[in-house]
Structure 1
Amino acid sequence: MTEKDKDEVALQRFVEYIQIKTVQPEPDYDSAMKFLKNYAQELGLEYRAVTLDESRQAALLTWPSTSSTETSIVLNSHIDVVPVFEEHWMVPPFSGEIRDGKIYGRGTQDMKCVGIQYLEAIRRLKAAKYEPKRTIHCLFVPDEEIGGVRGMGKFITLDECKALNIGFVLDEGLASETDVFQVYYGDRSVLWIQFLVKGKTGHGSRLIENTAAEKAQFILNEMLKFRANEKECLEKSEATDKLIQLGNVTTVNLTKLTGGVQQNVVPDQYSLYFDCRIKPDGYDAFKEFLHDVIKRTPKENDDEVILHYVQDSGRVCITDVEKPSWWLNCFKRTCEQMKCKTNWTVFPAATDGRYLRGEGYPAIGFSPMINTPILLHDHNEYLHKDVFLHGIEIYVKLLENLTNAATDGRYLRGEGYPAIGFSPMINTPILLHDHNEYLHKDVFLHGIEIYVKLFENLTNGESAYVIQLPSGSFKSPAEAAESYLEKLEKGGAKKTRPFQVDLVSYSPSITNSKTVHVLSHSEYPASSFAFAEQSNSQMLVADNTFIALMNKLKTLRAFETRLPKMEARGTRLEYQDFVINLGTVSQSQTTKGLVLEVAYVPMDETRDGYCLIQEFLQSFLNMPKQMIQKLITEQLTATDGRYLRGEGYPAIGFSPMINTPILLHDHNEYLHKDVFLHGIEIYVKLLENLTNGESA
């Protein structure tokens, strides 16, 4: 099949999908499910209809991976579309008619295009004999346009969802009227509210006190005042596309006002209905605002003003796009490869992504439509065929990256070894697995220099942890961290970037019930054995016996599963030759303690780095010496040669034993006699050369 043939098939399937009237309130889900089942058979995908209730199913089309150990990718889209007003359309809204390259139809942007793009990207990958290392699930769910409660809201509660082993989810986004793709890492909360206000009634000719209208006017004024403030914030934004930036503010709109029975009768009650969309970090504050409005509304009795939540999605979760992750790296790499400019923001409305994020799955909303007017839910909704086809190309590259990003590092981390991926190649196009892959020689040689300095620091750095911090009047570790951060900045330390480290928790059989032990890894270069005290003066304490302990812990993976993983997160600072990590430790979103690490970085044998660290902490944080503990790094491969080199004598280490297992310090240590005797011959020749008087 030629590229042109693939494009024609993709356009044909898109039009066929548009022609299925999955329009609310009576969507034809049966026809859609048949269409998707046939599509799966055509592409060679596994197909499952997942029952949600007596009248609704979700379609799951699966491309199994070559590896059973990796988490899966879910490509989510919804089947239903919103109603239409046919009299306002240029073409029949379910025809899929193409005019001047524009494909018209309800759902062309929201979001039947994306569902077809997923599947057509898979068609192209299969045609190229590609084999994904992660399983890909294409999920088609009902009822997103009416809240998703019986669609995705139901699906995430099922065992079928849990069995997918989800690692990352792609969901819907919006078109962009510029050349910048919009990427959404969260939604706004949905809050539909009703204010029911009651008052005195009577003849319309009288001036009655304490009427419902007066209360309604006060509430309306307060809500519109809030709306005006948010609108002002939006207008001050530097962004040119206001709809995109709506995710950063809370919108309030009066959608219905009811009351009264007759022209000459003062109404005894009014109902004011508002549609409120709340920015991710504003949910609690907005609810406090609503209750404050009720409290301040003039009234004689509390039951004269009642607030009713018609729909409340609750606080929304967002996907953390600041914390490094494999899927984030893959997504950004794809955008770089496809030369896609992106803007990361909050979706102005609500999508099915909120259900997935609420369950802890990382999910972003992305619809690859640029230079396109935003027409979801509008008359004459369309998508240009070139934009549609280019979106397929983007998904091809994105799925390649998302399902082929595994490295050998996962095996090492799985055994508890700390491992990071790093290739020192900057100002270089990403060409791995691409045609004409290359690396400039200057970049290659500079990488060697980086590794030289890295190895120096990894094998010669000194670091220390504070073993006890004065608790003072701090109410929480976060408050303590903030106070110490302020002291460090006042002393001249500069923030450089956030730091985040995953820790492994281990609870010994004999321990104080308030103690959680932590196995942590410092980068300069020592490891530490620490514990967080769960008391009013929560802190982390370092233990210099960590190395000896680690030598005895041969089954680290068993410890990893006993308790949830812990995480240290905070701020990295630099002051002269010192690096400071300051923050808090949390476990299952509960703060456990405070972490403070100070490292003296330079390789300088004439100075005692540990003493310098002591002086640093004493001068900055007024800490007595006994509160600071050195981390002893046992050099397992250290020899007497280090003393000789320390005096300036050139020395190398050499034992002539080849084809021999390394058994030093092990049971049944041995050496074959032939190896031993051959070593003597080597030393004979070596000593001859060394003592033969040649010089240069």
Structure 2
Amino acid sequence: MTMSFDGFRRLFSFISIALLLRTPSTIADDSVLSRFQQYLQINTAHPSPNYRQAADFILSQAKSLSLESRTIEFVENKPLILLKWTGKNPDLPSILLNSHTDVVTVEPHKWSYPPFDAAIDPQNGNIYARGSQDMKCVGLQYLEAIRKLKDSKFEPVRTIYISFVPDEEIGGLDGAKEFANSKMFDEMNVGIVLDEGLASPEDKYRLFYAERRAMALVIKATGAPGHGAKLYDNTAMENLLKSIESVRRFRASQFDLVKAGLKAEGEVVSVNMAFLKAGTPSPTGFVMNLQPSEAQAGFDIRVPPTADDPASLERRIAEEWAPASRNMSFELRQFKQKNGKPLMTAHDSSNPWWSLIEEAIIKAKGKIGKPEIFPASTDARYFRMKGVPAIGFSPMANTPILLHDHNEFLNKEEYLKGIEVYESILKAFSSFVEAKNGKDSLRDEL
């Protein structure tokens, strides 16, 4: 293929014009997005998250921002990165921005783009990657907001800490829980924690003040084994199916409240079957002419902190879902609450942090929905257990909820807008000073 001189000249002119159209703002946005892509491209999916590579990347960003940094391993090979921007009055309670570095596993063949390429769709600007919503976006938005504040010569009054913790997706026991219960955390004198929230399909951001308590229920049914052709009463499988149907009816009654708009998802009890275990294995699958003597089903249960009588659920399990009269038993594992009290952060004028975050979001030209209970579990619960107020927030409006789903994405414009929102929040939080009777009273939480 050949091109005339005039053709080269027209091509050169086109390229020159395209370069001239790239404003300093456009170039800066490209750098911001590039850093986000680099973080997303680090495979920190379970069961083998590359924590070391993620830690190295975060530490390199901290160095570019002149932030103090520490690497802590409460558990070997699970580094927690803690960054610090010292305020002008470090005696005031500090601000903690928490995020987790791990992500859930993927099924790559079910994605439109490779889940760790962080490809940007040229048609719509969506960034496809595992962790784009949950929650690598938030961790990098913290740092980009700090970059903008530092570039503007802003100086915080309160000290700001940024934590990147491991293992949130598998319970946070070796990450946030160890961190929150450490002497180091006590010495940080944290007054407020920001952690993850959820995307919003609407144009309003979502703020979370509590979360549902997680329970794991395993129901076991037993019965005499028998030939696959014979009809028996009270076989293990028959009794377990009765139990599953009873659970299904309860689940439907709760879900109907959500569908009718009477309650939000975080305000009802959710029950979802996670596994079904039964049958006698054979070299080719299962023995088909043998009814098993045991059968089990596992359920993920989430109970809102506003539940009127949490003990009623356990009674329901014992009397309806797994009655001993049907040769059934159950095991219920549940997350303990502080002194048996619901873990909720005040979300009204009694909590100055809540008012501040609402005002800061509005100042950044964002809209806010009503306060919510997070429907799942986050690391925020460990900080609330310490008596520290924690707010769940991820600035993702006009975005479908795709955490843990195939083709998880975040639009690049939403990501950039979220940085502006965090810039406004951090400026408000770190400049805030309230004195009552000579004391800082910022723990009006529980």
Instruction: Give me the TM-score of the superposition, normalised by structure 1.
Output: 0.56
Aligned length: 409
Identity %: 37
Return the alpha-carbon distance in structure 2 between the equivalents of residues 126 and 415 of structure 1.
Answer: 29
Return the alpha-carbon distance in structure 2 between the equivalents of residues 288 and 414 of structure 1.
Answer: 49
Structure 2 residue 270 is the aligned partner of structure 1 residue 251: yes
In structure 2, the CA distance between the partners of 1:237 and 1:278, relative to structure 1 (3 Å rule), is same
Shift of 1:58: 0.6
Per-residue CA deviations over 1:559-618 (Å, capped at 9, x if unaligned) read xxxxxx9x9xxxxxxxxxxxxxxxxxxxx99xxxxxxxxxxxxxxxxxxxxxxxxxxxxx
Structure 2 residue 417 is the aligned partner of structure 1 residue 395: no
* Preserved contact between residue 191 and residue 275 of structure 1 (Cα < 8 Å): yes
Return the alpha-carbon distance in structure 2 between the equivalents of residues 97 and 256 of structure 1.
Answer: 34
Q: Counterpart in 1 of 2:133?
A: 109
Shift of 1:3: 4.0
Shift of 1:92: 2.0
Residue identity matched to 1:348: P
Residue identity matched to 1:86: P
Return the alpha-carbon distance in structure 2 between the equivalents of residues 67 and 349 of structure 1.
Answer: 36
Per-residue CA deviations over 1:513-540 (Å, capped at 9, x if unaligned) read xxxxxxxxxxxxxxxxxxxxxxxxxxxx
In structure 2, the CA distance between the partners of 1:415 and 1:272, relative to structure 1 (3 Å rule), is closer
Residue identity matched to 1:250: V
1:24 to 36, 41, 46: 46
Structure 2 residue 112 is the aligned partner of structure 1 residue 94: no
Shift of 1:288: 2.7
* Preserved contact between residue 111 and residue 406 of structure 2 (Cα < 8 Å): yes
SS of aligned partner of 1:31: helix
Return the alpha-carbon distance in structure 1 between the equivalents of residues 214 and 348 of structure 2.
Answer: 25
1:173 to 197, 203, 209: 197
Structure 2 residue 187 is the aligned partner of structure 1 residue 163: yes
Shift of 1:21: 0.9
Alignment of 1:247-646 (within 5 A): 247-261=266-280, 262-282=287-307, 283-293=310-320, 296=323, 298-299=325-326, 304-309=327-332, 311-315=333-337, 317-322=343-348, 324-343=350-369, 344-407=371-434, 410=435, 413-414=437-438
Per-residue CA deviations over 1:197-253 (Å, capped at 9, x if unaligned) read 1112233344434322332133222211211210121122168xxxxx311111112
Per-residue CA deviations over 1:151-190 (Å, capped at 9, x if unaligned) read 1122112111111111001111111111011111111111
Residue identity matched to 1:389: L
Q: Using the TM superposition, name which of 159-168 and 2-11 deviates more.
A: 2-11
Residue identity matched to 1:372: T
SS of aligned partner of 2:325: coil
Higher relative contact order structure (alpha carbons within 8 Å, sequence separation ≥ 6): 2
* Preserved contact between residue 250 and residue 279 of structure 1 (Cα < 8 Å): yes
SS of aligned partner of 2:89: coil
In structure 2, the CA distance between the partners of 1:67 and 1:308, relative to structure 1 (3 Å rule), is same
2:31 to 2, 9, 21: 9
Q: Counterpart in 1 of 2:177?
A: 153
* Preserved contact between residue 348 and residue 355 of structure 2 (Cα < 8 Å): no
In structure 2, the CA distance between the partners of 1:2 and 1:284, relative to structure 1 (3 Å rule), is farther
Residue identity matched to 1:162: D
Residue identity matched to 2:188: L
Return the alpha-carbon distance in structure 2 between the equivalents of residues 140 and 108 of structure 1.
Answer: 15
Return the alpha-carbon distance in structure 1 between the equivalents of residues 157 and 24 of structure 2.
Answer: 26
Residue identity matched to 1:210: N
SS of aligned partner of 2:74: strand
SS of aligned partner of 1:377: coil
* Preserved contact between residue 120 and residue 126 of structure 2 (Cα < 8 Å): yes
Residue identity matched to 1:308: E
Structure 2 residue 69 is the aligned partner of structure 1 residue 47: yes
* Preserved contact between residue 270 and residue 303 of structure 2 (Cα < 8 Å): yes
Shift of 1:323: 5.3
* Preserved contact between residue 323 and residue 329 of structure 2 (Cα < 8 Å): no
Return the alpha-carbon distance in structure 2 between the equivalents of residues 171 and 415 of structure 1.
Answer: 26
In structure 2, the CA distance between the partners of 1:197 and 1:125, relative to structure 1 (3 Å rule), is same
Q: Counterpart in 1 of 2:15?
A: none
Shift of 1:123: 0.6
Return the alpha-carbon distance in structure 2 between the equivalents of residues 2 and 137 of structure 1.
Answer: 30
Shift of 1:121: 0.5
Return the alpha-carbon distance in structure 1 between the equivalents of residues 229 and 325 of structure 2.
Answer: 23
Per-residue CA deviations over 1:427-464 (Å, capped at 9, x if unaligned) read xxxxxxxxxxxxxxxxxxxxxxxxxxxxxxxxxxxxxx
Residue identity matched to 2:414: V
Shift of 1:5: 4.3
* Preserved contact between residue 144 and residue 351 of structure 1 (Cα < 8 Å): yes
Residue identity matched to 2:274: T
* Preserved contact between residue 326 and residue 405 of structure 1 (Cα < 8 Å): no
Q: Counterpart in 2 of 1:546?
A: none
In structure 2, the CA distance between the partners of 1:97 and 1:204, relative to structure 1 (3 Å rule), is closer
Return the alpha-carbon distance in structure 1 between the equivalents of residues 107 and 385 of structure 2.
Answer: 35
Residue identity matched to 1:139: S
* Preserved contact between residue 219 and residue 322 of structure 2 (Cα < 8 Å): no
Shift of 1:295: 6.9
Structure 1: which 4+ aligned runs deviate by more than 6 Å? none
Residue identity matched to 1:307: F
In structure 2, the CA distance between the partners of 1:135 and 1:3, relative to structure 1 (3 Å rule), is farther
Shift of 1:83: 1.4
Shift of 1:328: 1.4
Instruction: Give me the TM-score of the superposition, normalised by structure 2.
Output: 0.86
SS of aligned partner of 1:356: helix
In structure 2, the CA distance between the partners of 1:238 and 1:212, relative to structure 1 (3 Å rule), is closer
Residue identity matched to 1:68: P
Q: Counterpart in 2 of 1:85?
A: 107
SS of aligned partner of 2:416: helix
Structure 2 residue 127 is the aligned partner of structure 1 residue 130: no
